[in-house]
Amino acid sequence: MKTTILLLLTANCFWGCDQTSKFPESFTENSIDTAWKIKTDNTKMIVVDGKYNIWTKKVGEGKIKVLLLPGEPGFTQDYFECFEEFLPKEGIEFYYYDQLGTGNSDIPTDSVLLNTSRFVEEIEHVRKGLKLDNFYILGHFWGGVLAMEYLQKYQNHVKAAILSSMTAGVKSYAPYSGQLKKKTFTEQDIKTYDSLDRLKLHDSPEYQDLLVNKLYAWNRLPNIKVPTLVIGGMYEERNPEDIKKEGKLIPNSRTYLCPDGSHLSIYDDQQNYFSNLVAFLKDVENNKFVADKK
C-alpha cells in the first residue's frame, strides 16, 4: 500500500512538472538570458598589455567614484561585497577590479608579469578603460601598497586615497618585501632579517627596526600629497602605532583606527569603518577635508 501511494505521488509530481501551463506566463525561453544579463550588468573587460582581459564592475551611481584594490596579493574583489551595503545609498559609485591572474580576469602563463611595477601600469590601464579621472583609490593591505606605488607615479589623476590596513600582516607582505629587501638592505641586514624571520622572532626590537625603519620605505610616504585616509583596526596583526606613523608621514592625511576592528574591519567593525570612510569621501568632495595635525 505504501509503495502504491509513493508511486502515485511520484507520477503526479512528474506529470505536474511536465505541464508548461504550470510555469508563470511571463516565463519564456529568453528568461535565462535575461537573468544572466542582470547579473553581468555594469561589468566591463579591459584589455591590458594588448591581450589580457581584466574584469571590472561598476556598482552604484554618483559623482564620487572609488576604485577598489584587493589585498594579499592574489585576493579577488569578492570580499569587498560588503561595500554594496554602505556606499551606493550614500550616492557613492565604486568599481570592483580583479587583477591579472585572479578571479574573473585572465590567468597568464608567464608569472614574470605578476610584479609590482607592472601592476601599477595595469591600474593606469584600468583607470583609462573606465574613463576615471579625479577619482578616489582605495587599497586594502597589498592593494594599499599598490595604491601607494600608483600615487608615486600617477597622483595627478587621483582626487584622494584610502590606505586600508596597509602595513599589517608581515607574512603576507613577503612577496613585496622580498623585492624591497634587495634594494634597501645591506647584505648584513638581509642575513639578520632572514635569520630572525626563520626563528619567528617577529617581535624582536632588531626585526622591527629593520622592518619598520627600512623595509616599508617610510621616506616615500611624504610624496603622497592628495588627501588621504589611513585606516585600520586596533587588533591588526602588527602594531597599530605603525599605522599611526604612516598617517603622520603623509602630510595631507587623516588617520583612524577602528576600536573593535582587525585586519578586516570592513566586516568586524563595519559601523566605525564605513562611517569614517563615507565622511572622508564627502569631506573631500565638498572641500571640507581637514587633515590631522602632525
Q: Is residue 69 a contact partner of residue 147, using CB atoms and an 8 Å limit?
A: yes
Quick one: 223 and 149 in the same domain?
yes
Quick one: 132 and 255 in the same domain?
yes
Quick one: 205 and 231 in the same domain?
no
Distance CA 3, CA 90 (A): 60
* CA angle, residues 84, 86, 87, in degrees to nearest 5: 75
Residue 7 lies in a domain: no
Give the pLDDT score at 176. Answer: 45
Quick one: 265 and 194 in the same domain?
no
Quick one: 53 and 187 in the same domain?
no
Residue span of the structural domain in which 122 resides = 43-166+219-285
Crossing angle of helices 174-184/187-198, nearest 10°? 150
Quick one: 162 and 172 in the same domain?
no
Residue 196 lies in a domain: yes
Quick one: 134 and 159 in the same domain?
yes
Domain count within the chain: 2
* Closest residue by Cα to residue 43 from 33, 35, 54, 55: 55
pTM score of the predicted model: 0.72
pLDDT tens by residue, 71-81? 877 788 998 99
β strands within the chain, DSSP E: 43-48, 52-59, 64-69, 92-97, 135-140, 158-164, 228-233, 253-258
* Closest residue by Cα to residue 163 from 233, 228, 97, 244: 228
pLDDT tens by residue, 8-40? 334 333 333 443 334 344 434 443 344 334 455
Quick one: 124 and 228 in the same domain?
yes
Residue 66 lies in a domain: yes
Last residue of a domain, one of 215, 231, 250: 215
Instruction: Give the CATH number, domain containing residue 116.
Output: 3.40.50.1820
Quick one: 47 and 183 in the same domain?
no
Give the pLDDT score at 150. Answer: 96
Residue 71 lies in a domain: yes
Last residue of a domain, one of 215, 230, 249: 215
Residue 32 lies in a domain: no
Quick one: 119 and 143 in the same domain?
yes
Residue 25 lies in a domain: no
Quick one: 140 and 76 in the same domain?
yes
pLDDT tens for the chain, 294 residues long, are 434 434 433 433 333 344 333 434 443 444 334 433 445 579 999 999 899 999 999 999 999 999 999 987 778 899 899 999 999 999 999 999 999 999 999 999 887 887 888 999 999 999 999 999 999 999 998 899 899 999 999 999 999 999 999 863 344 345 445 655 666 677 887 777 677 667 655 556 665 555 555 555 567 889 999 999 999 999 886 668 878 888 999 999 999 999 999 889 999 999 999 999 999 999 999 999 999 998
Quick one: 83 and 63 in the same domain?
yes
